[in-house]
Amino acid sequence: MLELETANVRVGAVAASKEDAIRQVAALLARSGCIVPGYAESMLAREKVANTYLGKGVAIPHGMPKDRELIRRTGIAVLQVPGGVAWQPGDTARLIVGIAARSDEHLEVLGNLTGLLYDDEMVARLAVTPDPGEVIAALSAPRVDAPLSEPGEPFEAGLAVDAVVGSAHGLHARPATAFAEAAKGFDAEVMVRHGAHRANGKSLAGLLRLGVKAHGRVRISARGPEASAALAALKRLIEEGEPEEIFLGGPTHGWAPRAAGATVRGLAASPGIAIGPVRLLRQRKIVVERCAKDPERERRRLSEAISAARAELQELHHEVREKSGAAGAAIFLAHAEFLSDPDLLARAERRIARAESAGWAWRETIEEEAEPLARLDDPLLAGRATDLRDVGARVLRRLAGVIEGECELPSEPVILLADDLTPSDAAALDPARVLGFCTSGGGPTSHAAIIARSLGIPAVAGAGPVVLHQREGVAAVLDGDNGFLYIDPSPEDLAAAREAQRGWAGLRGAEHRARHEPALTTDGVRIEVVANTGLAREAAQAVEAGGEGIGLMRSEFLFLERATAPSEEEQYAAYREAAEALAGLPLIIRTLDIGGDKAVPYLDMPAEENPFLGVRGIRLCLAHPALFRTQLRAIFRASAHGSIKIMYPMIASVSELREALAITEQVRQELGAGRLDVGIMIEVPSAVVMAPELAGLVDFFSIGTNDLTQYVLAMDRGHPQLARQADGLHPAVLRMIDQTVRAAAGKSTWVGVCGGVAGEPLGAVILIGLGVTELSVSIPSIAAIKARIRDVSMADAQALARRALACDSAEAVRGLVKGAG
């Protein structure tokens, strides 16, 4: 970080012109050995291509990047011109902060200065103070490697702790939202200090204004009845940070043009190929009156517009979460939080009291926040400005008299070109009409990119202003894998792109071709991917789809929709057919799992008030020993034709398992058959709790997340209204799986999962990270699940699993991964 030395501060200066001021500040830098004198010319050159006026009388001249070799060491200098110097039409500079930075250290000073701009009193004082020490104190940030003071030391009449921001992108919108929300939950005043700047810990805008980067140090202080609890919770929150998104990857299209003509180069933001005419998205302009006569009425209008916008954002959050997953949706919660910011509202109301209309006051307040952020060279801070303006416009539209040039989304399929897409724009994209998009701003981590990935819309971001200068309607190919937009490609390239698109979007060919390859993580750990089947004939389909066996044969399929139970012979034929089709690959036959939602007429099962909590699974088999024995006889006989294992469903207690094992052993002895591996489904919470005891009695566990989820969350697995919440990735379910795996470790009992979670890309990665070694999935999911496993290392899967276990909701788990939905 930059040090401001006394020799580099000159107060009470007079400058005849902007050039004179820049030369004076350059002379300060040169005198202290920071630059060679020629750097002054570079600073003047910069003025011709960039605006270095920051606002409120502060300017930050600095040289061109190409002239960095003229910098001997990083430094800043401040020239105070109390009488002011014209910087650009309408703007007078009084504090001229010259920056000579060899790398990006100047961004921190910019952050401090930006914060300073909100402290009108302080800026005004610094412009006239005769004391250079005051300028130094205001602009110097604390050293990042030195603690501000001992944790817990009293601070501003309260308690304080120091914390280092753990979020990979600093304290930006999402982690800051989480912080402000958590702070509001405590009966305490919370203040956050970063360097010389402070923010109300309950104000999102205030927190963002601090401009804290990753690993930046902050001091959190609190005062009030719950101060200690608040500090402990907020420190944890800030240090845990926001997990980095992990992109699970997928097939690439592999297309490249043979003769690239006009090419726009940007950043790969969402994979895939889009082919179609380009269309420019024009920004809308919202017109509001400046003055209003009745402040009371305006205050009311503002409050109503904010409430309506907040409700709209909640709705949008819900909608986008459904459509695109939690990661893409989270920004709308942050937007709603902006609207609860007490500072923003107070400032807008002060303007209204000065006879400004609600719309004007609101827009000016938002611009005061957004403008200085947007000016900075830092894309993350600029992204915050986009968010502020997006949420600001949402309120403004409700207050506006006129909306000029209302943006029209295309009615026919196009590749959309835009300056940037706000999260609201992105949420409104219809994949049927927007084939892809390319923006001049933004990047792969912007919300628009996250939403595009989850909607499967190819996208390129950060491609620069050239994006906006394309001829409307011209044909183009957008390559979202590599970040290119090819304008007016040759007919041959167009045809090849279409071909590649078909291949990519169609069969996801590569995955399919690799379906018979083993599923090895990038660091070489093999995971068995097997199939869930019902009927015997599906065994051959499972093998053809790449299954390495059958992890769950739901034998009840043979028993359903018929008037009498299948005979031993009929069952033997079915199990033998499946075993033979697998040609030595494992076949796990689950013994009869009826009851619950599956009833059969021939068993004379009494109606139950709660069938899922009634006589089902192994309970039913133990209540009908003849039925159970017949099935076991058929299984033992079929085992001569393949590698068969037996699995009992719905085990809830050790005694049940012992009873089932005893019957199985009797049948085996009666037949004189060889011993078979025996396992149990883990799908009842009591089985998880008793897993250490159960593991000692069986060869394997297969976790049935479908039932486990319904029993852990007390949510009927078929309930239409609860379907969304009964999510197998709920941390409560994941923690049960973790407990099961740990109980089995050391007992030579392997653990697989055959519930639906195993067939989801995200679920599969989390499960293997938890230590599950076999995934049994539906036949169509086999190739994709194998491909996902090949994309990750076990180390990454374990890290993801740890983060998933630490989440507090299924939504948060799904939000860990880009586009996981």
- Interface residues toward ligand PEP, by CB under 6 A: 552, 554, 593, 683, 704-707, 754-755
Name the residue nearer to ligand PEP (CB basis): 74 or 706: 706
**Cα of 157 vs its chain's centroid, Å:** 38
| Helices 295-324 + 326-338 axis angle, to 10 | 170
Name the residue nearer to ligand PEP (CB basis): 47 or 593: 593
Name the residue nearer to Mg ion (CB basis): 162 or 707: 707
- Amino acid identity, residue 106? H
556 contributes a contact to Mg ion by CB under 5 A: no
DSSP-assigned beta bridge partners for residue 85: 93
In the complex, what is the shortest distance from the CB of residue 777 to ligand PEP, in angstroms, rounded to a whole number?
10
In the complex, what is the shortest distance from the CB of residue 533 to ligand PEP, in angstroms, rounded to a whole number?
11
**CA contacts within 13 A on the Cβ side of 268:** 10
**For residues 288 and 401, is the Cβ–Cβ distance under 8 A?**
yes
Among 704, 756, 771, 819, binds Mg ion (CB under 5 A): 704
656 contributes a contact to Mg ion by CB under 5 A: no
4 binds, among Mg ion, ligand PEP, none (CB under 5 to 8 A by kind): none
Name the residue nearer to Mg ion (CB basis): 613 or 640: 613
Distance separating alpha carbons of residues 645 and 679, to the nearest angstrom: 8
754 binds, among Mg ion, ligand PEP, none (CB under 5 to 8 A by kind): ligand PEP
Pairing assessment for the beta strands 75-88 and 91-100 based on DSSP bridges:
antiparallel
Distance separating alpha carbons of residues 143 and 463, to the nearest angstrom: 36
In the complex, what is the shortest distance from the CB of residue 598 to ligand PEP, in angstroms, rounded to a whole number?
9
755 binds, among ligand PEP, Mg ion, none (CB under 5 to 8 A by kind): ligand PEP
Residue 737 has phi, psi (to 5 degrees) of -65, -45
- Sign of the torsion formed by the C-alpha atoms of 330, 336, 342 and 348: positive
In the complex, what is the shortest distance from the CB of residue 717 to ligand PEP, in angstroms, rounded to a whole number?
8
Contacts of 673 (CB under 8 A, 6+ apart): 636, 637, 639, 640
- Which of 34, 621, 754, 807 does the annotation list as catalytic? 754
Name the residue nearer to ligand PEP (CB basis): 67 or 683: 683
**Cα of 426 vs its chain's centroid, Å:** 15
In the complex, what is the shortest distance from the CB of residue 616 to Mg ion, in angstroms, rounded to a whole number?
9
**For residues 191 and 170, is the Cβ–Cβ distance under 8 A?**
no
In the complex, what is the shortest distance from the CB of residue 757 to ligand PEP, in angstroms, rounded to a whole number?
8
Contacts of 488 (CB under 8 A, 6+ apart): 261, 262, 474, 475, 476
In the complex, what is the shortest distance from the CB of residue 809 to Mg ion, in angstroms, rounded to a whole number?
24
Site string for Mg ion, 381-420 (x = CB under 5 A): ----------------------------------------
493 contributes a contact to Mg ion by CB under 5 A: no
**Is 447 annotated as catalytic?**
yes
756 contributes a contact to Mg ion by CB under 5 A: no
Tallying the residues shown for the chain, one arrives at 821
For residue 534, count CB atoms less than 10 angstroms from its CB and return exposed for 0-12, middle for 13-18, buried for 19 or more: middle
Q: What is 745-812 written as a DSSP string?
A: TTTT-EEEE-SGGGGSHHHHHHHHHHT--EEEE-GGGHHHHHHHHHHS-HHHHHHHHHHHHH-SSHHH
Distance separating alpha carbons of residues 511 and 523, to the nearest angstrom: 19
Residue 550 has phi, psi (to 5 degrees) of -120, 120
Name the residue nearer to Mg ion (CB basis): 7 or 560: 560
User: What is the 3 state secondary structure string of 30-96?
Assistant: HHCCCECCCHHHHHHHHHHHCCCEEECCEECCECCHHHHHHECCCEEEEEEEEEEEEEECCEEEEEE
Residue nearest to ligand PEP (CB): 704
**Is 754 annotated as catalytic?**
yes
Residue in the structure block whose two tokens are 């939690």: 326
Name the residue nearer to ligand PEP (CB basis): 482 or 706: 706
- Which of 106, 172, 197, 624 does the annotation list as catalytic? 172
In the complex, what is the shortest distance from the CB of residue 801 to ligand PEP, in angstroms, rounded to a whole number?
19
Name the residue nearer to ligand PEP (CB basis): 452 or 737: 737
In 10 A of CB 570, how many CB atoms?
A: 12
Q: In what order do the strands lie in the sheet with 9-10?
A: 9-10, 75-88, 91-100, 58-59, 53-55
In the complex, what is the shortest distance from the CB of residue 708 to Mg ion, in angstroms, rounded to a whole number?
8
DSSP-assigned beta bridge partners for residue 461: 267
Residue in the structure block whose two tokens are 């008037």: 563
Segment near Mg ion (CB under 5 A); pick from 115-123, 245-253, 488-496, 703-711: 703-711
In the complex, what is the shortest distance from the CB of residue 733 to ligand PEP, in angstroms, rounded to a whole number?
10
Name the residue nearer to Mg ion (CB basis): 386 or 776: 776
Distance separating alpha carbons of residues 545 and 601, to the nearest angstrom: 35
- Which of 197, 335, 447, 730 does the annotation list as catalytic? 447
Site string for Mg ion, 659-698 (x = CB under 5 A): ------------------------x---------------
705 binds, among ligand PEP, Mg ion, none (CB under 5 to 8 A by kind): ligand PEP
Name the residue nearer to ligand PEP (CB basis): 247 or 557: 557
Name the residue nearer to Mg ion (CB basis): 636 or 648: 648
Residue in the structure block whose two tokens are 């183009």: 476
In the complex, what is the shortest distance from the CB of residue 809 to ligand PEP, in angstroms, rounded to a whole number?
21
Name the residue nearer to ligand PEP (CB basis): 356 or 593: 593
In the complex, what is the shortest distance from the CB of residue 513 to ligand PEP, in angstroms, rounded to a whole number?
29
Which DSSP state fits 218?
E
Segment near Mg ion (CB under 5 A); pick from 264-272, 606-614, 702-710, 738-746: 702-710
Check residue 187 and give left, alpha or beta (phi > 0: left; psi -120 to 50: alpha): beta
User: Of 178-197, which residues contact Mg ion (CB under 5 A)?
Assistant: none
Q: Report the candidate in 774, 771, 766 with the shortest Cα–Cα distance to residue 800.
A: 766
Pairing assessment for the beta strands 434-439 and 459-461 based on DSSP bridges:
parallel
554 binds, among Mg ion, ligand PEP, none (CB under 5 to 8 A by kind): ligand PEP
Q: Helix count (H) and strand count (E) of the chain?
A: 30, 28
In the complex, what is the shortest distance from the CB of residue 738 to ligand PEP, in angstroms, rounded to a whole number?
17
In 10 A of CB 614, how many CB atoms?
A: 15
**Is 106 annotated as catalytic?**
no
738 binds, among ligand PEP, Mg ion, none (CB under 5 to 8 A by kind): none
Name the residue nearer to Mg ion (CB basis): 413 or 614: 614
111 contributes a contact to Mg ion by CB under 5 A: no
- Which of 62, 197, 253, 317 does the annotation list as catalytic? 62
356 binds, among ligand PEP, Mg ion, none (CB under 5 to 8 A by kind): none
**Is 621 annotated as catalytic?**
no
Q: Report the candidate in 478, 755, 746 with the shortest Cα–Cα distance to residue 593.
A: 755
Contacts with Mg ion, residue ranges (CB under 5 A): 683, 704, 707
Active site residues: 62, 172, 447, 754
